[in-house]
Amino acid sequence: MVSRIEKIIHAQTPEQDSPAPMNVRERNTLRVAFVHAPDPMYADTQNYGAKFMPVWAYTLASHIPDDGRFKITLYDNRFEGDANIEEHDLFLFSGINQDFGNLESVRNKLKGRYPAAKSIIGGPICWSFEQAGSLQQLKNFDYVFIGDGEHEIASLLENIRTKAPVNHILHSKGRFPISDARPFHKPMLNNTVGRYYGAVLEVSRGCPFLCEFCDIRILPDNNRSHNKSPELIVSELDHLGSLGVKQVLFACDNFIGEPRWAEEVIDKILEWQERTGYRLSLYTWLTINLYKFDSLMEKMRRAGFDMLFIGIESFSRNSLLETAKVQNTAPNMIEVVRHIQSYGFIVVAGLIFGFDSDTEASFDETLVGLSDSALLSGDPSLLTALPGTPLYRRMKLSSRLRKVRFGLGGYKYQTNIKYLLPREKIVEGYQKFVTGFCDGRYQYKRFKSFMDLLEEGNFVAMEGKGFGNLNLFLKMILKNQAAMFQMTQRLIRFSASPLNVYWAIRGFILALSRSDRGGFGYFQFWFFAWTNAILKYRYISNEDFDIESVEPGFDLRNILPTNYSQTADEAIPTGKIKAQLRATTTQLKTIIAEGAT
């Protein structure tokens, strides 16, 4: 979130009675605090006690001039707590929609203690709230910044420091060219990175694909890849390695949005490893078309990638066509996933229920798809319409939006659209899915299928221990009372079924027999994902679902509003808009036709 900015050096005229220039500098220094305050419930239940660094703070801090005008500090509420935040002149906040309640609470407390201090909020929440027409909810912050902040952070802070006029609502002047990115703010990084689960390094932004539900494509100039230089990425890895970091998450919208760049990055990492002897464990997000690049997959394994998040979304071709996820419709999904995993990757699968094309059979079909493709993960979400997306526009045009709290929070499944499937069928199907998913025999079958894949001849061993570091994870949990309670609940719920223990032992024995294929590391991930599911779903009930379906008598033709195509006005190439509309409307027309027969 930050760019190449020239330092703005303003000559200051000392007051006549000032005894020394140093005192003038001290009085004119703006004390700036980055405040990371994610929603506690959402953070704990999503990451199960692991804490990841607030990459936005380290990134923006690197674009603040280090010339004495600004003194910066990082406060992460997951460690310090808002009661320990000292007085500053300006508090900087960022977050996602789910964080709104906690961000507002922390802001209120700081305003009560330090009434003269100013506050500013930026990040995804501001863009999303503006798209939803809900920006007024952020009115209590003195400044609201929408867009990339790298270009403007220095001049904005200087205006606040000198008490120059600053608008309440601020928009970035354009997208920040990430190729101009600076290294992390080293003092902040060096002093704090050790308390997090490894490190998070943003490497690129943007994705060329056209999923109807995705808000990546709608950001200005974001329907293509914007990449950091491979040299900068390796330089950052080198510094992180020198600090003792072993796990690094490559944050991006799609690591292979531009495959040639991805391969160049991997080649640079391999050269760096050979030169320095460092071996890091890497994790990233990318798309299913990775299967086309066998050479790249082999190199990625040697570079240290062991886990990959891929949006599978559905094993139904109709549901994939509906959302225009065309990259997932061309191949045989099951064979493609198996091919990728045969190299040794763990595919962390994104799955979604609730597409208009879904049927009552979708839940069972997903269980079969997970088993046949040997996926070790499989924790689905319910479809949500993100503000600004074509899906949001379609739901709004057809009067299918619900007014609810933004996003998912904790264990409660709350969504903002009305589904075609009856509510009771969704709840029943979801509960049936998680019951089958948590079954020990089913879990062992998938684990064995995965381990068998590694014998097919593509497997590439890694020198690192993998991104899933059990020792590091347990150390973090021991320092977190809520995470300790959660871990206790995990073990109690798991061991409540003796059959679970039996199949876990079978899995452990299998892992030991495949030690030449990293069996224990895969066992850790499998067991962790399995117990996560049991923790979340052991007592899931009808009351946990805050969802709705369309009213009785709903006209099925309304799933495709007459002005859906005419109101498409995204800042992406016209041909791409038409391609998404063509895929979505064709499939929705099929649903309408089938419903009329």
- Six token digits for residue 333: 């999904």
pLDDT of residue 436: 96
- Six token digits for residue 575: 């041909």
CA dihedral 238, 240, 243, 247 (to 10 degrees): -120
Pair type for strands 204-205 and 199-202: unpaired
106 and 42, same domain (yes or no)? yes
Taking only the tens place, the pLDDT of each residue in 138-174 is 999 999 999 999 999 999 999 999 999 999 999 998 8
Question: Cα 445 from chain centroid?
Answer: 29
Q: pTM of this prediction?
A: 0.90
Q: Which residue has the tokens 């021991």?
A: 478
- Six token digits for residue 15: 């007051």
pLDDT of residue 10: 29
Question: How many Å apart are CA 336 and CA 347, to the nearest integer?
Answer: 11
- Residue 330 scores a pLDDT above 90: no
Question: How many Å apart are CA 597 and CA 593, to the nearest integer?
Answer: 7
391 and 462, same domain (yes or no)? yes
Domain-embedded: residue 588: no
Contact 13, 1 (CB under 8 A): no
Taking only the tens place, the pLDDT of each residue in 358-384 is 999 999 999 999 999 999 998 899 999
Taking only the tens place, the pLDDT of each residue in 229-275 is 999 999 999 999 999 999 999 999 999 999 999 999 999 999 999 99
Give the single-character DSSP code of 17: T
Question: How many Å apart are CA 581 and CA 575, to the nearest integer?
Answer: 10
**Across 13-22, 138-147, 456-465, least confident range:** 13-22
Contact 379, 534 (CB under 8 A): no
Domain-embedded: residue 218: yes
205 and 134, same domain (yes or no)? no
- Residue 46 scores a pLDDT above 70: no
208 and 157, same domain (yes or no)? no
146 and 207, same domain (yes or no)? no
225 and 331, same domain (yes or no)? yes
User: 126 CB contacts (<8 Å, ≥6 apart)?
Assistant: 135, 138, 144, 145, 146
Contact 255, 222 (CB under 8 A): no
- Residue 22 scores a pLDDT above 90: no
Residue 524 burial (CB < 10 Å; 0-12/13-18/19+)? middle
Given 178, 213, 240, the domain boundary residue is 178
- Residue 347 scores a pLDDT above 80: yes
- Residue 404 scores a pLDDT above 90: no
Q: Which residue has the tokens 């509420």?
A: 77
Contact 132, 387 (CB under 8 A): yes
pLDDT of residue 315: 95
Helices (H), 51-116: 55-61, 100-113
Percentage of the chain beyond pLDDT 90 is 78
Question: How many Å apart are CA 22 and CA 14, to the nearest integer?
Answer: 10
Question: How many Å apart are CA 86 and CA 274, to the nearest integer?
Answer: 45
206 and 168, same domain (yes or no)? no
Number of domains in the chain: 2
Q: What is the mean pLDDT of the chain?
A: 90
- According to DSSP, the residues that pair with 282 across neighbouring strands are 248, 305
Q: Which residue has the tokens 């809900």?
A: 134
- Six token digits for residue 499: 């059959």
Domain-embedded: residue 413: yes
Domain-embedded: residue 583: no
Residue 10 burial (CB < 10 Å; 0-12/13-18/19+)? exposed
Question: Cα 424 from chain centroid?
Answer: 30
pLDDT of residue 408: 44
Q: 592 falls in which pLDDT band (50, 70, 90)?
A: very high
Percentage of the chain beyond pLDDT 70 is 92
User: 268 CB contacts (<8 Å, ≥6 apart)?
Assistant: 230, 231, 233, 234
CA dihedral for 383, 389, 391, 393, sign (positive or negative): positive
Taking residue 436's Cβ as centre, other Cβ atoms within 10 Å add up to: 18
170 and 235, same domain (yes or no)? no
Taking only the tens place, the pLDDT of each residue in 65-92 is 999 999 999 999 988 888 999 999 999 9
Residue that wins the pLDDT comparison between 331 and 349: 349
Domain-embedded: residue 581: no
CATH number assigned to the domain comprising residue 369 = 3.80.30.20
Strand order across the beta sheet in which 118-122 lies: 70-76, 30-36, 90-94, 118-122, 143-146, 169-171
Highest averaged pLDDT of the listed ranges 6-10, 23-27, 487-491, 501-505:
501-505
Strands (E), 399-556: 413-419, 545-549
**Between vectors from CA 233 to CA 231 and to CA 238, what angle results, nearest 5°?**
95
Q: If we measure between CA atoms, which residue out of 141, 38, 19, 152 comes closest to residue 92?
A: 141
94 and 210, same domain (yes or no)? no
Domain-embedded: residue 591: no
Q: 6 falls in which pLDDT band (50, 70, 90)?
A: very low
Contact 186, 202 (CB under 8 A): no
CATH number assigned to the domain comprising residue 71 = 3.40.50.2300
Taking only the tens place, the pLDDT of each residue in 171-222 is 998 889 998 899 999 999 999 999 998 899 999 999 999 999 999 998 888 9
Question: Cα 561 from chain centroid?
Answer: 31
CA dihedral for 489, 490, 491, 495, sign (positive or negative): positive
SS3 category, 249:
strand
Question: How many Å apart are CA 403 and CA 546, to the nearest integer?
Answer: 11
- Six token digits for residue 357: 């094309």
97 and 154, same domain (yes or no)? yes
pLDDT of residue 260: 97
Amino acid at 357: S
Give the structural domain span for 143: 21-178
For the segment 341-347, the average pLDDT, to the nearest whole number, is 97
Domain-embedded: residue 462: yes
Domain-embedded: residue 12: no
226 and 167, same domain (yes or no)? no
284 and 415, same domain (yes or no)? yes
Question: How many Å apart are CA 65 and CA 62, to the nearest integer?
Answer: 8
Residue that wins the pLDDT comparison between 42 and 96: 96
Q: Which helix (H) or strand (E) holds 250?
A: strand 247-251
Q: If we measure between CA atoms, which residue out of 153, 93, 101, 158 comes closest to residue 126?
A: 93
By 3-state DSSP, what share of the chain in percent is helix, strand and coil, each rounded to 5?
45, 15, 40
For the segment 437-458, the average pLDDT, to the nearest whole number, is 97
